[in-house]
Structure 1
């Protein structure tokens, strides 16, 4: 991505950590959670690779079309999976955004080129979507009501494993949404 190196490395760290956590979530006993976590792990690691500052590493010319093909396949998979779950529509938009960014980077490697003044036609709606997604995801993380008593965490066999906790999955999705906004702004 274009832009300063320090924020780029922070974005790499955020996306890689999110991808690693999503890999751990793939060990869940819930089938749908495993499937969603796999797509999110691909997105997290893909975003981490794409966010490496261009001053440090400039990918070869063949990398961007390969990147677009991988995320194009992920978009098709998300489209197919969207039959059963609306959450996969978000994966579809995310994968399509990754394809768009890969194509944009292939067309103008190492330069800020938008083809005119202002925000490009596709970048604007993607920024609106992901900004809305980040705000909604952040609002969902805020506790609705304070518990009447002390909160206890069960440690027995029926306890929810840390990889199956819904608030951690939401935080994971929130961090990837923030990363996507940052990457679209840097495009």
Structure 2
């Protein structure tokens, strides 16, 4: 990721904390909640790893294709889950965005792969712009939905940390903000 080092470390912290909370959510009694939390934990930790400043750690050339393969598999899994309802489509877009970021980073000038494919980034601004529009809209909509959820959260009895809907929404909102930040620095 390119950009200010302090912003990159904030993004690493946000995404790692989100991934850790999603691991907590995997202990939920609700199967659908556990399944979604697993994919979101992968996204959070993957985004945290990608956001580590290049001045601190430059991944080897094989890391970016590996990221693309892992998130490609996650995209296929999310696409399979999307058969049960449209609420899974956001996970498809998120994992495809991670594949895209991995491929762009593999082809960046600091990457050894860029010397073999110097023109790979010809369509980058259009795809990046479309993803930025999607995730910006998602963040705004998620933030608006989060406000009423926090006001009504106390109406139910004792709810386990992994089953709190407002925290799951906040988790998704954090990852959306992180994706916007990652796309802005590309």
Matched, 1:124 2:121: no
- Superposition pairs for residues 104-119 of structure 1, below 5 Å? 104-110=104-110, 115=121
Alignment length (residue pairs): 178
Q: Runs of 4 or more off by more than 6 Å in structure 1?
A: 144-147
Indicate the SS of the match to 1:94: helix
**Partner Cα distance (2:156, 2:36) in 1:** 25
Deviation of 1:85 (Å): 2.7
Indicate the SS of the match to 1:14: helix
2:115 paired residue number: none
Deviation of 1:133 (Å): 0.2
**Partner Cα distance (1:75, 1:135) in 2:** 23
- Superposition pairs for residues 87-166 of structure 1, below 5 Å? 87-110=87-110, 115=121, 120-143=125-148, 154=157, 159-166=158-165
Q: Is the 8 A contact 1:22 1:38 kept in 2?
A: yes
Extract unaligned runs of 5+ from structure 2: 112-117
Matched, 1:19 2:19: yes
Q: Measured at CA, do residues 30 and 144 of structure 1 come closer, stay the same or move farther in structure 2, by a change above 3 Å?
A: closer
Extract unaligned runs of 5+ from structure 1: none
The two structures have a TM-score, normalised by structure 2, of 0.89
Deviation of 1:80 (Å): 0.4
Q: Measured at CA, do residues 144 and 108 of structure 1 come closer, stay the same or move farther in structure 2, by a change above 3 Å?
A: closer
The two structures have a TM-score, normalised by structure 1, of 0.88
Matched, 1:181 2:185: no
Q: Is the 8 A contact 1:54 1:110 kept in 2?
A: no
Matched, 1:48 2:48: yes
**Partner Cα distance (2:131, 2:12) in 1:** 20
**What do residues 102-147 of structure 1 show as CA deviations (whole Å, max 9, x unaligned)?**
0000011538x9957x971110100000000000000001127967
Q: Is the 8 A contact 2:138 2:176 kept in 1?
A: yes
**Partner Cα distance (2:33, 2:145) in 1:** 18
Larger radius of gyration: 1
Provide the alpha-carbon RMSD of the alignment: 2.2
Q: Measured at CA, do residues 29 and 16 of structure 1 come closer, stay the same or move farther in structure 2, by a change above 3 Å?
A: same
